[in-house]
Chain A
Amino acid sequence: MADIRNNSGEEWLYSDKVKEHFLNPKNFLAGEPKEGEFDAEGEAGNFACGDIMKVWIKVEPKTEKIKDFKWRTWGCASAIAATSMFSVMVTENKGMTLDDALKITPENILERLSGLPPNKVHCSVLADQAFKDAVKNYRSHEKK
Protein backbone atom coordinates (compact mmCIF):
# COMPACT_ATOMS: atom_id res chain seq x y z
CA MET A 1 0.00 0.00 0.00
CA ALA A 2 1.48 3.30 -1.05
CA ASP A 3 2.57 5.73 1.62
CA ILE A 4 0.00 8.40 1.14
CA ARG A 5 1.04 10.77 3.79
CA ASN A 6 4.36 11.52 5.34
CA ASN A 7 4.02 11.04 9.08
CA SER A 8 6.26 13.88 10.04
CA GLY A 9 3.54 16.34 9.18
CA GLU A 10 6.14 18.47 7.46
CA GLU A 11 5.84 17.07 3.99
CA TRP A 12 2.86 17.80 1.85
CA LEU A 13 -0.63 16.67 2.74
CA TYR A 14 -0.66 14.16 -0.10
CA SER A 15 1.94 12.26 -2.10
CA ASP A 16 4.54 13.99 -4.23
CA LYS A 17 2.79 12.77 -7.36
CA VAL A 18 -0.49 14.33 -6.26
CA LYS A 19 1.33 17.52 -5.40
CA GLU A 20 2.96 17.68 -8.82
CA HIS A 21 -0.29 17.12 -10.70
CA PHE A 22 -2.10 19.59 -8.49
CA LEU A 23 0.41 22.44 -8.72
CA ASN A 24 1.27 21.74 -12.37
CA PRO A 25 -1.76 20.08 -13.90
CA LYS A 26 -1.24 18.42 -17.29
CA ASN A 27 -3.52 18.52 -20.32
CA PHE A 28 -6.14 20.85 -18.99
CA LEU A 29 -8.20 22.77 -21.47
CA ALA A 30 -7.65 26.50 -21.22
CA GLY A 31 -10.69 28.41 -22.42
CA GLU A 32 -13.57 27.01 -24.42
CA PRO A 33 -13.19 24.17 -26.94
CA LYS A 34 -13.18 25.40 -30.53
CA GLU A 35 -15.73 24.19 -33.03
CA GLY A 36 -14.73 20.70 -34.19
CA GLU A 37 -11.67 20.58 -31.94
CA PHE A 38 -12.95 17.47 -30.14
CA ASP A 39 -15.12 14.52 -31.00
CA ALA A 40 -16.96 14.12 -27.71
CA GLU A 41 -17.40 15.58 -24.26
CA GLY A 42 -18.07 13.82 -20.97
CA GLU A 43 -18.98 15.03 -17.50
CA ALA A 44 -19.20 13.68 -13.95
CA GLY A 45 -19.90 15.00 -10.51
CA ASN A 46 -22.18 17.78 -9.26
CA PHE A 47 -22.30 20.89 -7.10
CA ALA A 48 -23.66 18.95 -4.16
CA CYS A 49 -20.62 16.76 -3.78
CA GLY A 50 -18.12 19.49 -4.58
CA ASP A 51 -16.48 17.94 -7.62
CA ILE A 52 -17.29 18.48 -11.29
CA MET A 53 -15.11 17.11 -14.06
CA LYS A 54 -15.44 17.72 -17.79
CA VAL A 55 -13.36 15.89 -20.35
CA TRP A 56 -12.98 16.25 -24.10
CA ILE A 57 -11.61 13.54 -26.38
CA LYS A 58 -10.36 13.50 -29.94
CA VAL A 59 -10.30 9.99 -31.39
CA GLU A 60 -8.66 8.52 -34.48
CA PRO A 61 -11.74 6.92 -36.10
CA LYS A 62 -10.19 3.72 -37.53
CA THR A 63 -7.96 2.66 -34.63
CA GLU A 64 -10.03 4.41 -31.97
CA LYS A 65 -6.77 5.67 -30.50
CA ILE A 66 -7.08 8.71 -28.29
CA LYS A 67 -5.41 11.55 -30.16
CA ASP A 68 -6.16 14.20 -27.62
CA PHE A 69 -7.60 14.29 -24.11
CA LYS A 70 -8.29 17.52 -22.32
CA TRP A 71 -10.12 18.22 -19.11
CA ARG A 72 -11.37 20.84 -16.67
CA THR A 73 -12.11 20.24 -12.99
CA TRP A 74 -13.90 22.15 -10.27
CA GLY A 75 -12.74 20.34 -7.18
CA CYS A 76 -10.11 19.71 -4.57
CA ALA A 77 -6.44 18.87 -4.98
CA SER A 78 -7.18 15.14 -5.28
CA ALA A 79 -9.81 15.74 -7.95
CA ILE A 80 -7.49 17.93 -9.99
CA ALA A 81 -4.59 15.53 -9.60
CA ALA A 82 -6.72 12.48 -10.47
CA THR A 83 -8.02 13.99 -13.70
CA SER A 84 -4.57 15.23 -14.62
CA MET A 85 -3.00 11.82 -13.97
CA PHE A 86 -5.73 10.07 -15.93
CA SER A 87 -5.10 12.40 -18.86
CA VAL A 88 -1.43 11.40 -18.79
CA MET A 89 -2.26 7.71 -18.58
CA VAL A 90 -4.45 7.72 -21.68
CA THR A 91 -2.25 9.93 -23.83
CA GLU A 92 1.24 8.68 -23.00
CA ASN A 93 3.05 6.36 -25.40
CA LYS A 94 1.22 7.77 -28.40
CA GLY A 95 -2.21 7.26 -26.81
CA MET A 96 -4.40 4.33 -25.78
CA THR A 97 -7.31 2.94 -27.69
CA LEU A 98 -10.74 3.68 -26.24
CA ASP A 99 -11.16 0.07 -25.18
CA ASP A 100 -7.83 -0.01 -23.37
CA ALA A 101 -8.55 3.30 -21.72
CA LEU A 102 -11.95 2.03 -20.60
CA LYS A 103 -10.17 -0.79 -18.77
CA ILE A 104 -8.41 1.70 -16.49
CA THR A 105 -9.84 1.44 -13.01
CA PRO A 106 -9.86 4.01 -10.20
CA GLU A 107 -7.36 1.73 -8.45
CA ASN A 108 -4.96 2.14 -11.39
CA ILE A 109 -5.23 5.91 -11.07
CA LEU A 110 -4.64 5.69 -7.31
CA GLU A 111 -1.57 3.60 -7.85
CA ARG A 112 -0.04 6.08 -10.30
CA LEU A 113 -0.74 8.84 -7.79
CA SER A 114 0.98 6.84 -5.03
CA GLY A 115 -2.32 6.69 -3.22
CA LEU A 116 -4.97 9.00 -1.85
CA PRO A 117 -6.47 9.14 1.64
CA PRO A 118 -9.65 7.02 1.96
CA ASN A 119 -11.97 10.02 1.95
CA LYS A 120 -10.47 11.17 -1.38
CA VAL A 121 -10.68 7.92 -3.26
CA HIS A 122 -14.00 8.98 -4.78
CA CYS A 123 -12.14 11.70 -6.71
CA SER A 124 -10.42 9.04 -8.78
CA VAL A 125 -13.77 7.37 -9.43
CA LEU A 126 -15.12 10.62 -10.88
CA ALA A 127 -12.24 10.92 -13.34
CA ASP A 128 -13.04 7.44 -14.59
CA GLN A 129 -16.76 8.26 -14.82
CA ALA A 130 -16.25 11.43 -16.82
CA PHE A 131 -14.18 9.57 -19.37
CA LYS A 132 -16.73 6.76 -19.66
CA ASP A 133 -19.38 9.40 -20.23
CA ALA A 134 -17.30 10.87 -23.07
CA VAL A 135 -16.79 7.49 -24.68
CA LYS A 136 -20.51 6.78 -24.45
CA ASN A 137 -21.23 10.09 -26.19
CA TYR A 138 -18.57 9.44 -28.81
CA ARG A 139 -19.81 5.98 -29.67
CA SER A 140 -23.48 6.93 -29.81
CA HIS A 141 -22.45 9.78 -32.11
CA GLU A 142 -20.44 7.48 -34.34
CA LYS A 143 -23.43 5.20 -34.84
CA LYS A 144 -25.32 7.96 -36.59
Chain B
Amino acid sequence: MDKQKKRIYMDHAATTYLDERVKEAMEPYWTEKFGNPSSLYKEGRNARKAIETARADIAKIIGARAEEIIFTNGGTESDNLAIFGVVGALGFDYSNFSRLNPRAGSDDDSKSEQSKSHIITTKFEHHAVLKSCECLEKRGFDVTYLDVGEDGIVNPKDVEKALRPETILVSIMYANNEIGAIQPIAEIGKILKKHKTFFHSDACQAAGYLDLNVEKLGVDLLTVNGSKMYGPKGIGFLYAKRGIKLSPIMYGGGQEKHLRPGTENVPAIIGLAEALKIAREEREEESKRIAGLRDYFIERLLKEIPKTFLNGHSEKRLPNNINISILGVEGEAVVLYLDEYGIACSTGSACTSENFEPSHVILALGKPRAYAHGSLRFSLGKRNTKEDIDYTVDTLKSVIEKLRNISAVNV
Protein backbone atom coordinates (compact mmCIF):
# COMPACT_ATOMS: atom_id res chain seq x y z
CA MET B 1 0.00 0.00 0.00
CA ASP B 2 1.25 3.46 -0.75
CA LYS B 3 1.63 5.79 2.17
CA GLN B 4 -0.41 8.79 1.13
CA LYS B 5 0.22 12.33 2.35
CA LYS B 6 -3.40 13.26 3.06
CA ARG B 7 -4.59 12.38 6.51
CA ILE B 8 -7.96 10.74 6.94
CA TYR B 9 -9.26 11.61 10.38
CA MET B 10 -11.87 9.21 11.69
CA ASP B 11 -11.79 9.81 15.41
CA HIS B 12 -14.36 12.58 15.76
CA ALA B 13 -15.73 10.95 18.90
CA ALA B 14 -12.42 11.78 20.55
CA THR B 15 -12.42 15.36 19.34
CA THR B 16 -13.20 17.48 16.30
CA TYR B 17 -11.62 20.40 14.51
CA LEU B 18 -13.22 23.81 14.90
CA ASP B 19 -15.85 24.60 12.29
CA GLU B 20 -14.67 27.70 10.40
CA ARG B 21 -17.77 29.59 11.46
CA VAL B 22 -17.11 28.80 15.10
CA LYS B 23 -13.55 30.04 14.72
CA GLU B 24 -14.84 33.25 13.16
CA ALA B 25 -17.38 33.79 15.93
CA MET B 26 -14.64 33.38 18.57
CA GLU B 27 -12.12 35.63 16.83
CA PRO B 28 -13.01 39.06 18.31
CA TYR B 29 -12.77 37.73 21.85
CA TRP B 30 -9.05 37.04 21.96
CA THR B 31 -7.63 40.52 21.55
CA GLU B 32 -10.46 42.97 20.99
CA LYS B 33 -13.38 42.03 23.20
CA PHE B 34 -11.16 40.49 25.83
CA GLY B 35 -12.73 41.88 28.97
CA ASN B 36 -13.55 40.02 32.17
CA PRO B 37 -17.34 39.68 32.32
CA SER B 38 -17.33 40.60 36.02
CA SER B 39 -15.72 44.01 35.45
CA LEU B 40 -17.79 47.18 35.86
CA TYR B 41 -16.44 49.15 32.91
CA LYS B 42 -17.24 48.95 29.22
CA GLU B 43 -14.93 46.07 28.28
CA GLY B 44 -16.34 44.01 31.12
CA ARG B 45 -19.95 44.84 30.34
CA ASN B 46 -19.46 43.88 26.71
CA ALA B 47 -17.95 40.55 27.68
CA ARG B 48 -20.81 39.98 30.10
CA LYS B 49 -23.32 40.74 27.37
CA ALA B 50 -21.60 38.35 25.01
CA ILE B 51 -21.69 35.38 27.35
CA GLU B 52 -25.23 36.06 28.50
CA THR B 53 -26.35 36.17 24.89
CA ALA B 54 -24.56 32.86 24.31
CA ARG B 55 -26.26 31.44 27.36
CA ALA B 56 -29.68 32.50 26.17
CA ASP B 57 -29.02 31.08 22.70
CA ILE B 58 -27.97 27.76 24.12
CA ALA B 59 -30.96 27.65 26.44
CA LYS B 60 -33.31 28.30 23.55
CA ILE B 61 -31.81 25.47 21.53
CA ILE B 62 -32.33 22.91 24.26
CA GLY B 63 -35.71 24.23 25.39
CA ALA B 64 -34.48 25.55 28.71
CA ARG B 65 -34.24 28.86 30.54
CA ALA B 66 -31.02 30.83 30.47
CA GLU B 67 -30.70 30.61 34.25
CA GLU B 68 -30.59 26.83 33.94
CA ILE B 69 -27.31 26.82 31.99
CA ILE B 70 -24.05 26.60 33.93
CA PHE B 71 -20.84 26.91 31.91
CA THR B 72 -18.09 24.52 32.87
CA ASN B 73 -14.71 23.38 31.64
CA GLY B 74 -16.22 20.50 29.69
CA GLY B 75 -18.05 17.20 29.86
CA THR B 76 -16.11 15.68 32.72
CA GLU B 77 -16.60 18.71 34.90
CA SER B 78 -20.32 18.89 34.10
CA ASP B 79 -20.71 15.22 35.02
CA ASN B 80 -18.87 15.76 38.29
CA LEU B 81 -20.93 18.86 39.09
CA ALA B 82 -24.15 16.99 38.36
CA ILE B 83 -23.29 14.03 40.56
CA PHE B 84 -21.41 15.61 43.45
CA GLY B 85 -23.56 18.71 43.16
CA VAL B 86 -26.78 16.78 43.76
CA VAL B 87 -25.28 14.64 46.49
CA GLY B 88 -23.72 17.59 48.25
CA ALA B 89 -26.87 19.64 48.16
CA LEU B 90 -28.82 16.82 49.78
CA GLY B 91 -26.63 17.40 52.79
CA PHE B 92 -24.64 14.21 53.04
CA ASP B 93 -21.97 14.39 55.65
CA TYR B 94 -19.29 12.09 54.32
CA SER B 95 -17.21 12.01 57.42
CA ASN B 96 -20.05 10.76 59.51
CA PHE B 97 -21.94 8.67 57.04
CA SER B 98 -23.78 5.61 58.21
CA ARG B 99 -25.60 3.57 55.66
CA LEU B 100 -28.68 1.77 56.86
CA ASN B 101 -29.83 -1.35 55.13
CA PRO B 102 -32.67 -0.10 52.94
CA ARG B 103 -34.28 -3.50 53.06
CA ALA B 104 -34.24 -3.60 56.86
CA GLY B 105 -38.01 -3.98 56.75
CA SER B 106 -38.84 -0.71 58.41
CA ASP B 107 -41.44 1.59 56.90
CA ASP B 108 -40.22 4.36 59.14
CA ASP B 109 -39.89 7.53 57.05
CA SER B 110 -37.01 8.96 59.01
CA LYS B 111 -34.95 5.84 58.41
CA SER B 112 -35.62 6.09 54.71
CA GLU B 113 -34.45 9.73 54.77
CA GLN B 114 -31.17 8.71 56.33
CA SER B 115 -30.60 5.92 53.88
CA LYS B 116 -31.24 8.22 50.91
CA SER B 117 -28.11 6.90 49.42
CA HIS B 118 -28.75 5.13 46.14
CA ILE B 119 -27.66 6.01 42.62
CA ILE B 120 -28.49 4.23 39.39
CA THR B 121 -26.20 4.33 36.38
CA THR B 122 -25.02 1.95 33.66
CA LYS B 123 -21.98 -0.29 33.30
CA PHE B 124 -20.70 1.58 30.26
CA GLU B 125 -20.89 5.23 31.23
CA HIS B 126 -17.98 7.51 30.56
CA HIS B 127 -15.36 7.32 33.29
CA ALA B 128 -16.34 10.80 34.47
CA VAL B 129 -19.61 9.27 35.69
CA LEU B 130 -18.27 5.85 36.69
CA LYS B 131 -15.35 7.13 38.73
CA SER B 132 -17.57 9.68 40.45
CA CYS B 133 -20.00 6.90 41.38
CA GLU B 134 -17.14 4.69 42.57
CA CYS B 135 -15.94 7.53 44.77
CA LEU B 136 -19.41 7.80 46.29
CA GLU B 137 -19.50 4.04 46.85
CA LYS B 138 -16.37 4.34 48.97
CA ARG B 139 -18.19 6.97 50.97
CA GLY B 140 -21.05 4.64 51.71
CA PHE B 141 -23.41 5.08 48.78
CA ASP B 142 -25.14 2.19 47.06
CA VAL B 143 -24.73 2.29 43.30
CA THR B 144 -26.54 0.08 40.82
CA TYR B 145 -24.66 -0.35 37.55
CA LEU B 146 -27.30 -1.50 35.06
CA ASP B 147 -26.54 -4.09 32.40
CA VAL B 148 -26.82 -2.97 28.81
CA GLY B 149 -27.31 -6.26 27.03
CA GLU B 150 -25.59 -7.44 23.86
CA ASP B 151 -26.68 -4.41 21.89
CA GLY B 152 -25.61 -1.84 24.41
CA ILE B 153 -29.06 -0.41 25.05
CA VAL B 154 -30.44 0.01 28.56
CA ASN B 155 -33.89 -1.41 29.14
CA PRO B 156 -36.14 1.24 30.74
CA LYS B 157 -37.84 -1.54 32.71
CA ASP B 158 -34.49 -2.34 34.34
CA VAL B 159 -34.25 1.28 35.44
CA GLU B 160 -37.73 1.05 36.94
CA LYS B 161 -36.94 -2.22 38.72
CA ALA B 162 -33.78 -0.76 40.22
CA LEU B 163 -35.55 2.26 41.71
CA ARG B 164 -35.76 2.45 45.47
CA PRO B 165 -37.37 4.99 47.78
CA GLU B 166 -33.87 6.18 48.57
CA THR B 167 -32.66 6.62 44.97
CA ILE B 168 -31.48 10.22 44.58
CA LEU B 169 -29.95 10.21 41.12
CA VAL B 170 -30.15 8.28 37.88
CA SER B 171 -27.37 8.98 35.39
CA ILE B 172 -27.59 7.42 31.93
CA MET B 173 -25.69 8.66 28.90
CA TYR B 174 -27.63 9.72 25.83
CA ALA B 175 -25.28 7.99 23.37
CA ASN B 176 -22.32 5.84 24.27
CA ASN B 177 -19.02 7.32 23.19
CA GLU B 178 -17.39 4.03 22.17
CA ILE B 179 -20.13 2.13 20.38
CA GLY B 180 -22.53 4.98 19.64
CA ALA B 181 -25.53 3.13 21.08
CA ILE B 182 -28.42 5.54 21.62
CA GLN B 183 -30.21 5.13 24.94
CA PRO B 184 -34.00 5.50 25.36
CA ILE B 185 -33.68 8.67 27.44
CA ALA B 186 -37.20 10.01 26.82
CA GLU B 187 -38.75 6.67 27.83
CA ILE B 188 -36.66 6.56 30.97
CA GLY B 189 -37.52 10.20 31.66
CA LYS B 190 -41.23 9.33 31.62
CA ILE B 191 -40.73 6.54 34.13
CA LEU B 192 -38.68 8.72 36.42
CA LYS B 193 -41.28 11.51 36.43
CA LYS B 194 -43.22 9.52 38.98
CA HIS B 195 -40.19 9.26 41.27
CA LYS B 196 -38.48 12.03 43.18
CA THR B 197 -35.04 11.05 41.93
CA PHE B 198 -33.13 13.42 39.67
CA PHE B 199 -32.36 12.29 36.14
CA HIS B 200 -29.00 13.20 34.57
CA SER B 201 -27.77 12.41 31.08
CA ASP B 202 -24.33 12.87 29.58
CA ALA B 203 -25.07 14.04 26.04
CA CYS B 204 -21.53 14.87 24.91
CA GLN B 205 -21.59 12.52 21.92
CA ALA B 206 -25.19 13.24 21.03
CA ALA B 207 -25.12 17.01 20.60
CA GLY B 208 -24.11 16.97 16.97
CA TYR B 209 -26.69 14.42 15.87
CA LEU B 210 -29.65 14.12 18.22
CA ASP B 211 -32.36 16.36 19.60
CA LEU B 212 -31.36 17.88 22.94
CA ASN B 213 -34.73 19.27 23.99
CA VAL B 214 -34.78 18.74 27.74
CA GLU B 215 -38.58 18.67 27.96
CA LYS B 216 -38.78 15.87 25.44
CA LEU B 217 -35.95 13.99 27.08
CA GLY B 218 -37.42 14.43 30.53
CA VAL B 219 -34.05 15.13 32.13
CA ASP B 220 -33.32 17.29 35.13
CA LEU B 221 -29.62 17.57 34.35
CA LEU B 222 -27.83 17.41 31.01
CA THR B 223 -24.11 17.46 30.20
CA VAL B 224 -22.93 18.90 26.89
CA ASN B 225 -19.45 19.83 25.71
CA GLY B 226 -17.98 21.62 22.73
CA SER B 227 -15.12 19.42 21.63
CA LYS B 228 -17.12 16.70 19.87
CA MET B 229 -19.32 19.04 17.84
CA TYR B 230 -16.80 21.21 16.02
CA GLY B 231 -16.61 23.58 18.95
CA PRO B 232 -13.67 24.43 21.19
CA LYS B 233 -12.08 22.12 23.71
CA GLY B 234 -12.17 22.93 27.39
CA ILE B 235 -15.76 24.18 27.49
CA GLY B 236 -19.14 22.69 28.14
CA PHE B 237 -22.27 23.29 30.14
CA LEU B 238 -24.51 21.61 32.63
CA TYR B 239 -28.23 22.14 32.28
CA ALA B 240 -29.78 22.03 35.73
CA LYS B 241 -33.55 22.40 35.91
CA ARG B 242 -34.78 25.32 37.94
CA GLY B 243 -35.45 24.25 41.48
CA ILE B 244 -32.67 21.66 41.64
CA LYS B 245 -30.18 22.54 44.29
CA LEU B 246 -26.58 21.87 43.51
CA SER B 247 -23.60 22.10 45.79
CA PRO B 248 -20.45 23.56 44.21
CA ILE B 249 -17.39 21.37 43.67
CA MET B 250 -15.05 24.34 43.37
CA TYR B 251 -14.80 27.53 45.40
CA GLY B 252 -13.80 31.01 44.39
CA GLY B 253 -15.18 34.22 42.99
CA GLY B 254 -18.82 33.30 42.70
CA GLN B 255 -19.27 33.16 38.92
CA GLU B 256 -22.07 31.00 37.50
CA LYS B 257 -24.10 31.45 40.68
CA HIS B 258 -21.20 30.12 42.74
CA LEU B 259 -21.42 26.80 40.94
CA ARG B 260 -18.45 27.34 38.68
CA PRO B 261 -16.23 30.12 39.98
CA GLY B 262 -13.37 31.39 37.90
CA THR B 263 -13.12 33.96 35.14
CA GLU B 264 -15.35 32.78 32.34
CA ASN B 265 -13.70 31.46 29.19
CA VAL B 266 -15.42 34.03 27.01
CA PRO B 267 -14.12 32.99 23.57
CA ALA B 268 -14.89 29.35 24.28
CA ILE B 269 -18.39 30.14 25.49
CA ILE B 270 -19.07 32.07 22.30
CA GLY B 271 -17.65 29.16 20.32
CA LEU B 272 -19.76 26.65 22.19
CA ALA B 273 -22.96 28.55 21.46
CA GLU B 274 -22.07 28.94 17.80
CA ALA B 275 -21.21 25.25 17.49
CA LEU B 276 -24.51 24.26 19.04
CA LYS B 277 -26.40 26.59 16.72
CA ILE B 278 -24.73 25.10 13.68
CA ALA B 279 -25.33 21.59 14.98
CA ARG B 280 -29.01 22.27 15.47
CA GLU B 281 -29.37 23.73 12.00
CA GLU B 282 -27.39 21.15 10.11
CA ARG B 283 -27.77 17.99 12.10
CA GLU B 284 -30.73 16.53 10.30
CA GLU B 285 -29.13 16.67 6.88
CA GLU B 286 -25.67 15.77 8.11
CA SER B 287 -27.03 12.82 10.07
CA LYS B 288 -28.61 11.44 6.92
CA ARG B 289 -25.44 11.86 4.88
CA ILE B 290 -23.13 10.41 7.44
CA ALA B 291 -25.41 7.51 8.35
CA GLY B 292 -25.22 6.48 4.70
CA LEU B 293 -21.43 6.48 4.88
CA ARG B 294 -21.48 4.64 8.18
CA ASP B 295 -23.69 1.86 6.84
CA TYR B 296 -21.58 1.56 3.70
CA PHE B 297 -18.44 1.34 5.86
CA ILE B 298 -19.94 -1.33 8.12
CA GLU B 299 -21.23 -3.31 5.17
CA ARG B 300 -17.84 -3.41 3.47
CA LEU B 301 -16.04 -4.33 6.69
CA LEU B 302 -18.35 -7.17 7.65
CA LYS B 303 -18.36 -8.52 4.13
CA GLU B 304 -14.71 -8.19 3.24
CA ILE B 305 -12.79 -8.93 6.42
CA PRO B 306 -13.53 -12.37 7.85
CA LYS B 307 -14.18 -12.78 11.59
CA THR B 308 -15.23 -9.15 12.02
CA PHE B 309 -18.12 -8.25 14.29
CA LEU B 310 -20.12 -5.08 14.89
CA ASN B 311 -20.30 -3.85 18.47
CA GLY B 312 -23.59 -2.27 19.50
CA HIS B 313 -27.02 -2.04 17.95
CA SER B 314 -26.91 -1.70 14.18
CA GLU B 315 -29.65 0.92 13.94
CA LYS B 316 -29.97 2.63 17.31
CA ARG B 317 -26.52 4.05 16.99
CA LEU B 318 -25.03 7.45 16.29
CA PRO B 319 -24.98 8.12 12.55
CA ASN B 320 -21.20 8.51 12.56
CA ASN B 321 -20.12 5.56 14.71
CA ILE B 322 -18.49 2.36 13.52
CA ASN B 323 -17.17 0.05 16.22
CA ILE B 324 -16.00 -3.42 15.26
CA SER B 325 -14.02 -6.27 16.73
CA ILE B 326 -11.54 -8.01 14.44
CA LEU B 327 -10.35 -11.36 15.75
CA GLY B 328 -6.75 -12.45 15.67
CA VAL B 329 -5.23 -8.98 15.83
CA GLU B 330 -4.67 -6.49 18.61
CA GLY B 331 -6.12 -3.01 18.45
CA GLU B 332 -3.09 -0.83 19.15
CA ALA B 333 -1.09 -2.59 16.45
CA VAL B 334 -3.86 -1.90 13.93
CA VAL B 335 -4.19 1.74 14.98
CA LEU B 336 -0.46 2.35 14.59
CA TYR B 337 -0.34 0.67 11.19
CA LEU B 338 -3.32 2.70 10.01
CA ASP B 339 -1.62 5.82 11.34
CA GLU B 340 1.40 5.03 9.15
CA TYR B 341 -0.99 4.94 6.19
CA GLY B 342 -2.59 8.25 7.09
CA ILE B 343 -5.69 7.05 8.90
CA ALA B 344 -6.65 8.10 12.44
CA CYS B 345 -8.97 5.94 14.52
CA SER B 346 -9.03 4.49 18.04
CA THR B 347 -9.17 1.16 19.82
CA GLY B 348 -10.64 -0.42 22.94
CA SER B 349 -7.52 -2.47 23.53
CA ALA B 350 -5.95 -2.53 26.99
CA CYS B 351 -2.61 -1.42 25.65
CA THR B 352 -3.88 2.11 25.31
CA SER B 353 -5.37 2.39 28.77
CA GLU B 354 -3.68 3.38 32.00
CA ASN B 355 -4.65 0.31 33.98
CA PHE B 356 -4.21 -2.54 31.45
CA GLU B 357 -7.96 -3.01 31.33
CA PRO B 358 -9.55 -3.26 27.89
CA SER B 359 -12.66 -1.28 27.02
CA HIS B 360 -15.23 -1.57 29.78
CA VAL B 361 -17.84 -0.78 27.14
CA ILE B 362 -17.09 -3.80 24.95
CA LEU B 363 -16.92 -5.98 28.06
CA ALA B 364 -20.28 -4.58 29.23
CA LEU B 365 -21.78 -6.01 26.03
CA GLY B 366 -20.79 -9.43 27.32
CA LYS B 367 -18.06 -9.88 24.73
CA PRO B 368 -14.90 -11.85 25.59
CA ARG B 369 -11.75 -9.89 26.31
CA ALA B 370 -10.22 -10.84 22.97
CA TYR B 371 -13.04 -8.87 21.31
CA ALA B 372 -12.20 -5.84 23.41
CA HIS B 373 -8.50 -6.11 22.60
CA GLY B 374 -9.32 -6.37 18.91
CA SER B 375 -11.86 -3.55 18.82
CA LEU B 376 -11.59 -0.50 16.62
CA ARG B 377 -13.68 2.64 16.59
CA PHE B 378 -14.06 4.81 13.51
CA SER B 379 -16.15 7.92 14.10
CA LEU B 380 -16.84 9.91 10.95
CA GLY B 381 -17.09 13.65 10.53
CA LYS B 382 -18.22 16.38 8.22
CA ARG B 383 -15.17 16.12 5.96
CA ASN B 384 -15.20 12.34 5.48
CA THR B 385 -16.20 11.05 2.06
CA LYS B 386 -16.90 7.73 0.40
CA GLU B 387 -13.38 7.81 -1.00
CA ASP B 388 -12.01 8.02 2.55
CA ILE B 389 -13.98 4.94 3.48
CA ASP B 390 -12.89 2.99 0.43
CA TYR B 391 -9.26 3.82 1.08
CA THR B 392 -9.62 2.92 4.75
CA VAL B 393 -11.27 -0.43 4.11
CA ASP B 394 -8.72 -1.35 1.46
CA THR B 395 -5.84 -0.35 3.73
CA LEU B 396 -7.36 -2.07 6.74
CA LYS B 397 -7.70 -5.30 4.78
CA SER B 398 -4.02 -5.42 3.99
CA VAL B 399 -3.05 -4.42 7.55
CA ILE B 400 -5.23 -7.16 9.01
CA GLU B 401 -3.76 -9.65 6.58
CA LYS B 402 -0.24 -8.73 7.63
CA LEU B 403 -1.02 -8.81 11.34
CA ARG B 404 -2.92 -12.08 11.10
CA ASN B 405 0.09 -13.48 9.27
CA ILE B 406 2.26 -12.93 12.34
CA SER B 407 -0.43 -13.49 14.93
CA ALA B 408 -0.16 -16.19 17.58
CA VAL B 409 -3.91 -16.57 17.40
CA ASN B 410 -5.41 -18.50 14.51
CA VAL B 411 -8.88 -17.47 13.41
Residue picked from B331, B369, B405, B408, most chain A C-beta under 10 Å:
B408
Return the contact of B351 from the options A23, A47, A50, A73 (Cβ within 8 A): A50
- Do residues B406 and A80 form an inter-chain contact, with CB atoms below 8 A? yes
Q: Which of B211-219, B307-315, B332-340 contacts A (4 or more CB under 8 A)?
A: B332-340
Interface centre among A22, A23, A49, A53 (most CB of B within 10 A): A49
Kindly state the separation between the CA atoms of A76 and B349 in the bound complex, as whole angstroms: 9
Task: Answer yes or no: A25 CB below 8 A from chain B CBs.
Answer: yes
A75 near B: Cβ within 8 Å? yes
Q: Please, how many angstroms separate the alpha-carbon atoms of A131 and B401 in the complex?
A: 26
Q: Which residues of chain B have C-beta atoms less than 8 A from A47's C-beta?
A: 368-370, 373
B333 CB contact (under 8 Å) in A43, A45, A75: A75
CB distance from A15 to the nearest CB of B (A): 13
A74-B336 in contact (CB<8A): no
Task: Give every chain B residue within 8 A of A13 (Cβ-Cβ).
Answer: 336
Q: Which residue of B lies closest to A53 (CB)?
A: B408
B358 interface hit (Cβ, 8 Å): yes
The yes or no answer to B328 lying at the interface (CB within 8 A) is: yes
B145 to chain A, nearest CB (A): 21
For B336, list chain A residues within 8 Å (CB): 13, 22, 77
* Contact residues in A for B354 (Cβ distance below 8 Å): 119
Q: How far is the CB of A115 from chain B (nearest CB, A)?
A: 16
Do A50 and B349 touch across chains, with their CB atoms under 8 A apart? yes
Most chain B CB within 10 A, of A51, A74, A76, A78, is at A74
B264 near A: Cβ within 8 Å? no
Contacts of A98 in B (CB 8 A): none
Write the nearest CB–CB distance from B30 to chain A, whole angstroms.
24
- The reply to whether B369 and A73 form a contact with Cβ atoms under 8 Å apart is no
B185 CB to closest chain A CB (Å) equals 33
Q: Whole-angstrom distance from the CB of A3 to the nearest CB of chain B?
A: 19
* Residue A1, interface by CB 8 Å: no
B358 and A25 form a contact (CB under 8 A): no
Q: Please, how many angstroms separate the alpha-carbon atoms of A28 and B403 in the complex?
A: 11
What are the residues of chain A within 8 A of B369 when measuring CB–CB? 47-48, 50
Q: Are A28 and B351 in contact (CB under 8 A)?
A: no
Q: B406 to chain A: which residues have CB within 8 Å? A: 25, 28, 30, 72-73, 80
Q: A13-B336, A75-B330, A77-B333 are in contact. Are A49 and B407 (CB under 8 A)?
A: no
A13 to B354, CA, bound (A): 16
Given contacts A22-B336, A28-B406, A119-B356, are A74 and B328 in contact (CB under 8 A)? yes
What B residues does A80 contact at CB under 8 A? 333, 406
Extra inter-chain contacts (8) besides given A25-B406, A71-B408, A77-B336, CB under 8 Å: A22-B333, A43-B408, A47-B368, A50-B373, A74-B330, A74-B408, A77-B332, A80-B333
A-B contact pairs, 8 of them (CB 8 A): A23-B337, A47-B368, A50-B351, A51-B330, A73-B407, A74-B328, A77-B332, A120-B351
A residues neighboring B (CB under 8 Å)? 13, 22-23, 25, 28, 30, 43, 45, 47-54, 71-80, 119-120
- Could you tell me which B residues sit within 8 Å of A by CB distance? 328-333, 336-337, 340, 349-351, 354, 356, 358, 368-370, 373, 405-409
